[in-house]
Each structure stands twice: as C-alpha cells, then as structure tokens.
Amino acid sequence: MKDSFKYFILATAALALPAVSRAGEESDSAITTLREVVVTGRRVAPPEIIPAQVLSGDELRRLNSNSVADALRYFSGVQVKDYGGVGGIKTVNIRSMGTNHTGVVYDGVELGNAQNGQIDLGQFSLDNMEALSLYNGQKSEILQPAKDFGSAGSIYMRTRKPHFEAGETWHMRATVRAGSFDLLNPSALMELKLGSRVTASLSAEWLTSTGKYKFRYRRVNPAGELAYDTTAVRQNGDINATRIEANVYGTLNTGTWSAKVYNYNSERGVPGAIVNNVWRRGERIWDNNSFAQARYTGYFGKFTSLNNVKYAFYRTHYVNNDDKQVKIDNLYKQREIYLSSANEYQAADWWRISLSYDFMWNTMSADMYGFAKPDRFSHYLSAATALDFKRFKVQASALGTFIHDELRGQESPADKKVFTPAVYLSFNPLRSTSDLTLRAFYKRSFRMPTFNDLYYADMGNSKLSPERVTQYNVGVLYNRTRRGFVSAVRVSADAYYNKVRDKIVAYPKGQQFRWTMLNLGLVAIKGVDVSGLITINPVRDLFVTVRGQYTFQQAIDVTNPADNYYRDQIPYIPRHSGSAVVNAQWRGWGLNYSWIYVGERYNQQENIRYNYTQPWYTSDVSLSKDFSLGKVRLRALAEVNNLLNQDYDVIINYPMPKRNYRFTLNVEI
Amino acid sequence: MVATGCRDDELVVPTEYDIVPETMAADSDIRGFYLVNEGNMGSNKCTLDYFDYATGLYARNFYAERNPHVIKELGDVGNDIGIYGSKLYVVVNCSHKVEVLDARSGVRIGQIDIPNCRYVRFYRGNAYVSSYVGPVLIDPNAPKGAVYRVDTLSLAVTGKVTVGYQPEEMEIVDDYMYVANSGGYRAPEYDNTVSVVQMYDFKQVQQIPVGINLHRLKKDRYGKLWVTSRGDYQSRPSRLHVLEKLPGYNRMAVTDTLDVACSNMAFFGDSLYYYATEWNNFTASNTVSYGIIDIRTRKVVSTNFISDGTEAEITIPYGIAVHPETGDIFVTDAKNYVSSGTLYCFDRHGRRKWSVRTGDIPAHIAFLPR
C-alpha cells in the first residue's frame, strides 16, 4: 500500500518542469494565424503542410483561462486532466495516447521531465504568452531540432517578443488579477531597445491564492429522494508562486540570436482526494525550476543552421505532514543539459533537406531509500526532406534515438535504440484556389520509460522497453479570408487511427498494493476531430467570431481477451467532447462566451456503472473594455467561470470549483 | 446504463444481485458471509458484498444502498472485517475509521475514528483495533503503532497500548494479546517482533523477535500461533513461523520456521490452507502457490489445494476463508487491483463450485451466524 501511495506522490508531486532545447524562432513565428503570416529573418519559412491549431493574441486573452492548461481545453483531440483549483496539477493528453507522449515546447525549447514524463501545464501562466499551438504528430517543418521529430503530439508555447516602432525605446505593461479563491496575481513586463540590433524583455509575476473553494456532493436514491447533500470547502489547495523571466534578442549580419533565463518558484498544498471521513490532507510541495537557454540561427545562402543550448535544474521538495500517515520528506533534484544543431539545405526551389543532431544528458537524485541515481545520455539524429510541387507537398523524416542509462553501484539496463519515421502529405485539389487542402500523415513515435518507471524503489522495472505509438491521419481543411459580411471561414476535419503498443502499466506483484511496471498494454484509438471558425461583420465595427470543435474518440483496451475490461474505453477518455466560443467585439468592448463539454467517461478500466463518471459542461463569460488615456492603454476585464454553478469532478474525488469570479486590470505604455 | 449527453442527479450506488448455485444445509448455523472489497487508494471504492445462503443471492455493493445517507459511502481502502455479537465491524484504513453496522441488516450503527487502522479482533466485550499510528511525540518520523480498545456497547475508545512499528494482525490467547509488527514505514529497517500485551492492565510486557516485516498472525485450535513474515521482497523471502508455549511455561516462543512462503491462511480442522504470491524479478511474473499444512505435524501435505486447474484463472489471490461447517474454501482474486475481482468457491476437495464477480480488490470475509 505504501509503495503505490508513495509512487502516486512522486508521480504527481514531482512535476518539475525540465527542459530541452528546440525549434527555431522562425518556425515558431511562422505559425499561420487567421489574420497574418508573420515572417521574420531572411528565410521565408514555408507554410506548414498540416497547420497547427492556434490560439493567439487577443483571442487567447479573452478565453477566461487561468493557465495554459485551461486554454488548451479549446483544442480538439485534447483531454486535460485537472485535479482542481489554482494550484491543482493539470496535464494534457493528445488523442488518448497518454500524457507522456505529449511534447511541450516553450519558446523553441522542449520542456521535459525525465522523472515522470509529465509536464504540469497549470504552472504556465498566460500572462506573457503570445500564442499556443497544437500539432498532431510533429510540426511539419524540417528545420527543427531532432528531438522535435520525436513526440506523438506537441504543444508549442510562444511568449511575447518585443517589437518597436520607429522612435520607441521601451514598453511597459502591468497587470493585476484578483478574484475567487483569494486570488491575487500581479505581473509586470518591461521591454527595452538596447541598441539598433538588440532588444530585451523582463517579465515577472507573483501568484497567491488560498485555493479555498466550495464544492458540493449530492446524491439521490433511485426513487428521487435526497440521500445526502453536503457542501464543504476545499482545503490545503493554497499556492504561492513567482515567475521571473528575462530574454535578450539580437540580429547579426548572418542571422539572429536570443537567450532566455527562467525561474519558477512555488509552494503548494496538495489538496488530495476527498474520501469518506477525510476532508483535508497534509501534503505540501515546493518547486524551484530554473533554466537558461540560448539559440543562434545562421543564414548562409541556401544553407540555414539552427543551434540551441540549454541547462536546466529542477528541485522538488515533497513533505507529508499528516499525523495519520507515514511521514515523508523527500528532495528530488533533476539536471539537464541539451545541445542541438539543426541544418537545412535548399537543394532546389522545390526541394529542401535537413539533418539534425541533439544530445541530452539527464540526471536525477532523490534522498529516499532504494532510488537509483540514474544518468541518462540521449542522442537524437534526424534526417528529413521536403518536396514542394505547389499543389502537392511531401515531407518525410526519420529519427534515430539512442539512449544509454548509467546507474551508480548497479548494473545499467540495456541501451535503447529506436527508429521512428514520419511522412506528411498535403494536396490542393482545386486548381483555381488554395482554400481547400487535403492532408494525411503517418507517424511512428515512442516514449522512453521514465526514471520512476525504471528505478523507483521496489516498483521500478529496469527491463522496460519504450512504449510505442503508430498514428495514421487523414483530413481536410477549408480556409478562406475575405472582406464582407463573412470575413473568415475555417473548417477542418480529421480522422485518425492510433495504436499504442507495449504500453507501460502498473502491474500488481504480491500482496499489499505492491506494484511493478510492465510493457503490457495495447490500446487502439479511432477518432474524429472537427473544428470550425467563422467571423462575421454584420454592421460596421461589430465583429462576431464563433469557434467550435468536436472530438469523437473510441480508445479501447485490446490487451487481453481474458481481462474483464477487454475492448472497454480506457479511463477518463470521453467518447464525445467539444467546445464552443462566441466572441463579439464592438468599439473597444468585448464580450466572450465559452462552453466546454466533456461527455461521460469511466474512471477505471472496466466500463461498469460503478466506474461511471457523468458528463460535465461549463459556461464561462467575460466582458472587457479597452480605452486609452493619452499614450496609456488600459483594459478592464471581468470574468464569471462555471456560470451555471455545476458541481463536477474531472478526476474522481477531486471536486472542481463552483461558480467563481475574476477581475483583471491591464495597463500598457 | 443510461447513455445520455447530459448530467443527471448522481444516484446512490445501487446494489447488484447475482444468483449463486448454492443452498443452505437445514442444520447449518451459518446464514451467509460478508466480503470487504478494499478498493484502490484514493478511489473511495471500499465496498461491502453479502452472500446469503438462504436465498442464494450474492449482493454486490451492499453498503451504499442500505446506508444512502452516509456521505461518500463506506470509504477508502477497507482492510478488515469482523462480526461480534450482533454487530459487524469494517476497518477502513484510509478513511481512518471502523464502521459499525448491524450484522443482520447492514444498517449503520456508528463509526469509531482510529487513525490508520488495520485489523480488528474481539475479546470479552471489547473490540481491539491495530493502528499504524501510536503516540506521535516519541519519534515523529516513525511513530510506533498501537492497539486501541473499544467498548462494543458504547463504541467508545477506552484504552490504547503502544506496541511495535506498524502493527498488523493480532490474536488473544489465555489473557495475552499477540501483535505482529511489520515496521513497513521504516523499510529497510523492518520490525521483526510480536508484541505481547497483558490484557488485565492492557500493557505491553514483551516483544518476541520472529522475522522481518510480520503480517498475519492466527491461532489454531491448539493455541499455537501461526505468523507470516513478508521478508524484504528482495533477498529475504516470506516465511511462516510457529509460536507456541513450551511445556511448563506461560510464554510463547518461536518453535518452528517453515520453509514456506505464505501470504495468507485459514484453518479447517487440522488443516491450514495457505497461498503465497511472490514476485520473481527474473521472469517478471508472480509465482503463486497454494498449499495445505497439517497443523499437528507442521508439514506441507499438499502443494495445491485447488484440484481442478482453476488456479490458472487466478491472477492475484488476495483473500482466503474456509466455511467452518462445510469446509468450502473461498479464494478471492484481486486481478490488477483496479478492476472487479472474482470470488471463487471450492469444495473441500478443491473442486470449483462457483465463482462470482466482486468489487475492486476482494479481500476479507466474515461469516454471519444464523
């Protein structure tokens, strides 16, 4: 029992945010948004074969979101696991393949976590976020670090970069948010022009909240009589966090460079599961995550080189102070070094090739009994090519991954060598216009067993193999922008089939809740993602945008016909889910309504009534007003979340907040 | 199940009934049995099943329907069950309570709050509950465990005795209570003792070294104690130890350590039925064994009490009980801990009579007298 318990803690508690370097700023800024195609540098980044789902700029800011995780709920094919509250852990699962298959890239740098492979996206603020993009498979771009070819799905977060008009030398922005849960969240951003070719930004943020909110459990018996109805206050969900980030950007005759230093420091309570007779727990986590990264992109005629370097240090301190349970006081430290060089050559107008090599070193130490001290050396080598025949485009890539783990005082497990190819195709069937695109991809990818899977005291299994995923996707996109009553229309639909092999699952050994990890699972996923967007301009100055997405997923466990959950939908994956957003803008006023729907799910493998979890759907509303006082621009925003006061759990026994409020004031000079 | 896109009122978890091909002998003193499903930690899915010999009905998830007003139902991680007099006691480990029900109706009478409670035994009008948490002050990082004494009429805690680290099962023989200490929170420095508690003043008088990480402790019909050690799961294997009083002494002493791994056991006549689940790192699989020991000779007389090959269907045996009259053997299968388990019933010759679906992690059985 204690083993699984500790593992759970380690898995959930130690969501440090490691890092890896990734991607060029050119590719990042080449995201095709509705309104513009931003192109920087000299190399005009080719449009992506399969465009990302993107939320950016004002649209992102209007979405009543506390964190990046909240905003990602508006993407199709995505399930967010949310343990509730401001400080609750939030992880993302793309197309049911599992959180560990999701790559998360922060300003061109992949965040990683060698310990448990999960990134807590609740830790990432939207305060200085410029755009969020979601790619199924990889970004269809060949000039990118080798590691970027590796994930089954990727989320790219891009922060705001300074842009100065002629004569400007500085910008400043200050924001304060306050609201329910005793939330107070001031932040500031300073942007400076340090010279004709160098700019800098400094961003800082403080977040504090008691995390207290009312939740309610109500049951009726089948005759409709009330069985119980209780409302309580969520305890031990407090958070106190700071984020400091500094960036420098420069241009040279032969390219561009940038550097970033980042620190996130938090103390959080872990609210824990609400079970009979237990309404508060005594667990706390301190996270201190820092990284520094630098990038240089060089342009030499037909040759482009993108180079990244990064160092990261993550420290997690977990304490359980509950008198009724075993005392735990553990310190986990992770370090990471990452070097990457991606190189592209334009062989002809229609033909580009690239070669990338990444090296990464991860290490971890934990002051607990039986945890091996692993060092992991990873080498990634990728080759890719892109062919552009105007209406028909092809990209193919191949990634070789070589991983060697070294343990102090123990025999090291066998080295892992994995080869993963991907092919992306797109085709414009109409000769007259490029509004309509057909697309398809095939991709193989894998995830390495994490340090916890392999080396965690007693339950780790150093013989684990990588968990492998194969994806097939076909889709269609219609995208049109013009002047008039309907100013923009975008509709896309994709159908996909994924297979997860050698899925790493916890398997019981012996008595007393003892577990080990085995490559046992086999999951087949069939899905359809549909999304649409329309902007209309019914009268002068009034713009109404409606955005919707729907996801159908059948994700079934096909491991063993003898299991009583054979061919049952896997836990926490709804068959139906979707969202809708309606936004109206009129002369500085903005009104936003968003609705999120997650259909019925099962909270364990077996699809029986005891594991049934009801659908949930929430409505959020916000009203904003922009105005100017001379050179100073102000924005006031009022939000109401969970307007209809629904009592729901995303994860069983982790109740979510009832109706709550937030107010934001933003000043920009 | 109603498949709809909208949210409905959350219903009290309903009971499900299965028909079991079983009848009650006319002269039987056993009316039925209760089975506690532990439920995985944090799931709040500890459930109670009941089988009634008179009707042949197996009632799955029986508690919530009988007690719809209890907020968040039976609780998180059941760990033991016992019947004393007219009352049924369910020890719910991670809800830090012992739930007390009317043994005939399953209707709640009350609860006793005991932190991190593990097992329950009864003696002379009192219930005794072992708990991982004793006084916190002595060593805040690894407090010793305790046994709580509860008056079965008032359901009030009337005393507490500090024993070894993380105590598990206990038994009372001749006015002394013997408590198996595991020390599981202190790995790798496990406890290795059985605490001896003098009942008249409820004081610990002795700790007998037996083996590391003790768990089960059961007395047989001759007053001997059978104690299992879990070992360290690596180099030191699980073992079965025998404690008995030497002639002329009133003190228990270890008289034998059998070269047998044992996870759990139950008695019928002079037979001790046991099973063991041991993880093998080399094959990455569990090695499961079932056997019978003659408690007089302390020899293994059978290396498998299942005679019809059913053991191939059992993933993780997790509980064992023997019907005190018929000798029917009950074995539960916890499977992967996070899905419904199975309860198997074998006749005394080891042939499968029936099996039924249970809740998550079926584990502990208590027979209800007529």
The pLDDT assigned to B102 comes to: 98
Query: B68 and A219: CB-CB below 8 Å?
Result: yes
Measured between CB atoms, which of A461, A508, A608 is closest to B334? A508
Residue A43 — pLDDT band, cuts 50, 70, 90?
low
- Mean per-residue pLDDT for A427-450? 90
Query: A507 and B334: CB-CB below 8 Å?
Result: no
Specify the residue for token string 């080869």. A419
Helix (H) and strand (E) counts in chain A: 5, 35
Residue B194's nearest CA partner among B175, B219, B211, B174 is B211
Query: A276 and B74: CB-CB below 8 Å?
Result: yes
> Domains along chain A?
2-668 (2.40.170.20)
When scoring A12, A462, A511 by the number of chain B Cβ atoms within 10 A, the one with the most, hence best to mutate, is A511
Query: B44 and A461: CB-CB below 8 Å?
Result: no
Query: B9 and A218: CB-CB below 8 Å?
Result: yes
SS3 A517: strand
The pLDDT assigned to B140 comes to: 56
C-alpha distance from residue A443 to each of A342, A473, A524, B69 (Å): 20, 9, 15, 52
Residue A101 has pLDDT above 80, yes or no: yes
* Total Cβ atoms within 10 A of residue B288: 18
Query: B13 and A610: CB-CB below 8 Å?
Result: yes
Query: A5 and B41: CB-CB below 8 Å?
Result: yes
Residue B106 has pLDDT above 50, yes or no: yes
Q: CA–CA separation, B192 vs B214, rounded Å?
A: 6
Highest mean pLDDT among A97-106, A136-145, B260-269: B260-269
State residue A207 phi and psi, 5-degree precision.
-130, 125
Query: Shortest Cα distance from B77 to chain A (angstroms)?
Result: 10
Query: Shortest Cα distance from A605 to chain B (angstroms)?
Result: 7
Q: Are B30 and B368 in contact (CB under 8 A)?
A: yes
Q: Are A516 and A544 in contact (CB under 8 A)?
A: no
Q: Are A580 and A595 in contact (CB under 8 A)?
A: yes
Sort out which chain B residues have CB atoms less than 8 A from A516's CB and list them: 279, 284
Sort out which chain A residues have CB atoms less than 8 A from B70's CB and list them: 228, 276
The amino acid that residue A516 corresponds to is T
Please state whether beta strands A153-159 and A102-106 pair in parallel, antiparallel, or not at all (unpaired).
parallel
Query: A227 and B337: CB-CB below 8 Å?
Result: no
Share of chain B above pLDDT 90, in %: 84
Query: A513 and B74: CB-CB below 8 Å?
Result: no
Q: CA–CA separation, B279 vs A408, rounded Å?
A: 24
The 8 Å CB, 24+ separation contacts for B100-103 are: B100/B155, B101/B63, B101/B66, B101/B67, B103/B368
Tokens of A446: 């894998």
- Residue A25 gets the label, from left (phi > 0), alpha (psi -120 to 50) or beta, of alpha
The pLDDT assigned to A41 comes to: 41
Sort out which chain A residues have CB atoms less than 8 A from B338's CB and list them: 604-605
Polymer length of chain A: 669
Residue A281's nearest CA partner among B95, B61, B320 is B95
Query: A324 and B115: CB-CB below 8 Å?
Result: yes
The pLDDT assigned to A179 comes to: 94
Measured between CB atoms, which of B42, B113, B187 is closest to A653? B42
Share of chain A above pLDDT 70, in %: 92
- Mean per-residue pLDDT for A362-386? 91
A-B C-beta contacts closer than 8 Å = 180
Residue A668's beta-bridge partner residues?
Answer: A173, A633
Polymer length of chain B: 370
Residue A350 — pLDDT band, cuts 50, 70, 90?
very high
Please classify residue A659 by burial: count the beta carbons closer than 10 Å to its beta carbon, then call 0-12 exposed, 13-18 middle and 19+ buried: middle
pLDDT tens, residue by residue, A297-344: 999 999 999 999 999 999 999 998 887 888 888 899 999 999 999 999
Q: What is the mean pLDDT of chain A?
A: 88
Nearest CA in chain A to B186: A326
Specify the residue for token string 């997690």. A316
First-to-final CA distance of chain A: 57
Measured between CB atoms, which of A2, A220, A276 is closest to B11? A220
The pLDDT assigned to A44 comes to: 57
- DSSP H or E run through B129: strand B126-131
When scoring A276, A520, A559 by the number of chain B Cβ atoms within 10 A, the one with the most, hence best to mutate, is A276
Residue A45 — pLDDT band, cuts 50, 70, 90?
low
Q: Which DSSP string do the residues of B146-195 spell out, in sequence order? A: EEEEEETTT--EEEEEE-SSSEEEEEEETTEEEEEE--GGGTTS---EEE
Q: Are B100 and B124 in contact (CB under 8 A)?
A: no
Query: B339 and A605: CB-CB below 8 Å?
Result: yes
**Which of the pair, A470 or A166, is modelled with greater confidence?**
A470
The amino acid that residue A440 corresponds to is A
Query: B92 and A324: CB-CB below 8 Å?
Result: no
Q: CA–CA separation, A151 vs A143, rounded Å?
A: 16
Query: A614 and B8: CB-CB below 8 Å?
Result: yes
Specify the residue for token string 């359980």. A320
Q: CA–CA separation, A44 vs B236, rounded Å?
A: 66
Q: Are A308 and A294 in contact (CB under 8 A)?
A: yes
Residue B299's nearest CA partner among B271, B277, B339 is B271
**Which of the pair, B247 or B293, is modelled with greater confidence?**
B293
Sort out which chain B residues have CB atoms less than 8 A from A610's CB and list them: 13, 45, 47, 61, 359
pLDDT tens, residue by residue, A104-155: 999 988 998 888 888 888 888 888 899 999 999 888 889 999 999 999 999 9
- Mean per-residue pLDDT for B311-328? 96
Sort out which chain A residues have CB atoms less than 8 A from B43's CB and list them: 273, 603-604, 652-653
The amino acid that residue A545 corresponds to is T
Residue A510 — pLDDT band, cuts 50, 70, 90?
low
State residue B94 phi and psi, 5-degree precision.
-85, 0
Tokens of A384: 């890719």
DSSP letter, residue A45: P
The pLDDT assigned to A487 comes to: 82
Residue A2 has pLDDT above 60, yes or no: no
Residue A39 has pLDDT above 70, yes or no: no
pTM: predicted TM-score of the whole model, two decimal places: 0.91
Residue A369 — pLDDT band, cuts 50, 70, 90?
confident
**How many alpha carbons lie under 13 Å from residue A72 in its C-beta half-sphere?**
30
Sort out which chain B residues have CB atoms less than 8 A from A8's CB and list them: 41-42
Query: A605 and B10: CB-CB below 8 Å?
Result: no
**Which of the pair, A12 or A524, is modelled with greater confidence?**
A524
Residue B176's nearest CA partner among B222, B106, B225 is B225
Residue A521's beta-bridge partner residues?
Answer: A503
Measured between CB atoms, which of A272, A370, A508 is closest to B336? A508
Share of chain A above pLDDT 90, in %: 66
DSSP letter, residue A67: B
Sort out which chain A residues have CB atoms less than 8 A from B277's CB and list them: 509-511
Q: What is the ipTM of this complex?
A: 0.93
Query: A222 and B11: CB-CB below 8 Å?
Result: yes
The pLDDT assigned to B134 comes to: 65
Least confident of A3-17, A411-425, A502-516, B230-244: A3-17
Helix (H) and strand (E) counts in chain B: 1, 29
Residue A222 — pLDDT band, cuts 50, 70, 90?
confident
Sort out which chain A residues have CB atoms less than 8 A from B7's CB and list them: 614-617, 646, 648
The pLDDT assigned to B280 comes to: 79
Share of chain B above pLDDT 70, in %: 96
Residues sharing a CB contact under 8 Å with residue A382, sequence separation 6 or more, in sequence order:
A146, A149, A354, A355, A356, A357, A397, A398, A399, A400
SS3 B55: coil
When scoring A219, A564, A605 by the number of chain B Cβ atoms within 10 A, the one with the most, hence best to mutate, is A219
**Chain-centroid distance, C-alpha B281:** 27
Query: B10 and A218: CB-CB below 8 Å?
Result: yes
pLDDT tens, residue by residue, A250-281: 999 999 999 999 999 999 998 889 999 999 88
C-alpha distance from residue A663 to each of A69, A179, A616 (Å): 19, 6, 25
Q: Are B226 and B244 in contact (CB under 8 A)?
A: no
Sort out which chain A residues have CB atoms less than 8 A from B10's CB and list them: 217-220, 614
Query: B339 and A230: CB-CB below 8 Å?
Result: no
**Chain-centroid distance, C-alpha B41:** 17
Q: CA–CA separation, B43 vs A611, rounded Å?
A: 10
Residue B49's nearest CA partner among B85, B20, B9 is B20
Query: Shortest Cα distance from A241 to chain B (angstroms)?
Result: 27
- Residue B318 gets the label, from left (phi > 0), alpha (psi -120 to 50) or beta, of alpha
pLDDT tens, residue by residue, B119-171: 999 999 999 999 998 655 555 566 899 999 999 999 999 999 999 999 999 99
Residue A46 — pLDDT band, cuts 50, 70, 90?
low
Query: Shortest Cα distance from B21 to chain A (angstroms)?
Result: 22
